[in-house]
């Protein structure tokens, strides 16, 4: 379970940024990752952790369970920080999606390149829903034609590892509607400033 110190710091900071964004928008964010539930595991080596024999599902718990205040909307959220983002990130969470049926992946891409002359929060932080439909691993892919936005479930195994893949991920406010309601508060802009200032 033990990981490189710098990567551990980046992971915890990325999770903290996502938690702050969601809580600021009014969501309930509950730690559900095994290292948060059983804090003592974080100091173990991989061999020591494996020797404990925890069930696979327990060791693959997502980082957060997120609910709205009314508790009638739920997301299982896994947070991943990358300085070099690519398609392989979907393979890393494949088993989680298979175990839990559906997973919301939130990615922080510190190396994202802007398609425009300005930076927006969605340049650095985006997400997607992932699920298993039968034996097929699927991504809820976003596409935009003019002002129209549409979503289609596509097989992850058919995706090409190219820069456009990042842009087919979804801005956070389109997944978590309450984040969109808080856009005037500049929460996302402040979070991006933290990403640029600390994680890059």
Has residue 68 got a pLDDT over 70?
yes
The C-alpha atoms of residue 179 and residue 22 are separated, in whole angstroms, by 7
The C-alpha atoms of residue 179 and residue 168 are separated, in whole angstroms, by 19
Q: What pLDDT does residue 99 have? A: 93
At 113, the pLDDT band (50, 70, 90 cuts) reads confident
Has residue 2 got a pLDDT over 50?
no
At 126, the pLDDT band (50, 70, 90 cuts) reads very high
pLDDT exceeding 90 applies to what percent of the chain?
40
What are the tens digits of pLDDT across the range 75-89?
Answer: 999 999 988 899 999
Cα dist from 64 to 23, 85, 166, whole Å: 12, 21, 22
The DSSP secondary structure of 14-50, one letter per residue, reads HHHHHHHHHHHTT-EEEE-SHHHHSGGGGGS-HHHHH
pTM equals 0.85
Other beta carbons less than 10 A from residue 88's beta carbon: 10
Residue 108: both structure tokens together:
């922080």
Q: What pLDDT does residue 121 have? A: 72
CB 124 within 8 A of CB 195: yes
């Amino acid at each position: 379970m033990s990981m490189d110190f710098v990567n551990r710091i980046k992971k915890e900071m990325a999770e903290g940024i996502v938690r702050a964004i969601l809580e600021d928008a009014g969501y309930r964010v509950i730690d559900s990752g095994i290292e948060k539930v059983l804090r003592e595991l974080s100091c173990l080596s991989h061999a020591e952790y494996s020797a404990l024999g925890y069930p696979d599902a327990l060791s693959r718990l997502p980082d957060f369970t997120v609910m709205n205040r009314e508790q009638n909307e739920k997301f299982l959220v896994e947070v991943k920080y990358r300085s070099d983002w690519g398609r392989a990130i979907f393979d890393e969470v494949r088993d989680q999606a298979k175990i839990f049926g559906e997973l919301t992946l939130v990615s922080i891409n510190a190396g994202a390149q802007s398609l425009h002359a300005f930076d927006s929060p969605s340049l650095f932080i985006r997400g997607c829903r992932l699920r298993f439909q039968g034996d097929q691993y699927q991504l809820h892919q976003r596409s935009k034609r003019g002002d129209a936005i549409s979503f289609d479930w596509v097989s992850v195994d058919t995706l090409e590892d190219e820069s456009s893949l990042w842009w087919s991920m979804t801005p956070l406010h389109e997944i978590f509607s309450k984040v969109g309601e808080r856009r005037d508060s500049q929460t996302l802009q402040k979070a991006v400033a933290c990403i640029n200032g600390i994680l890059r």
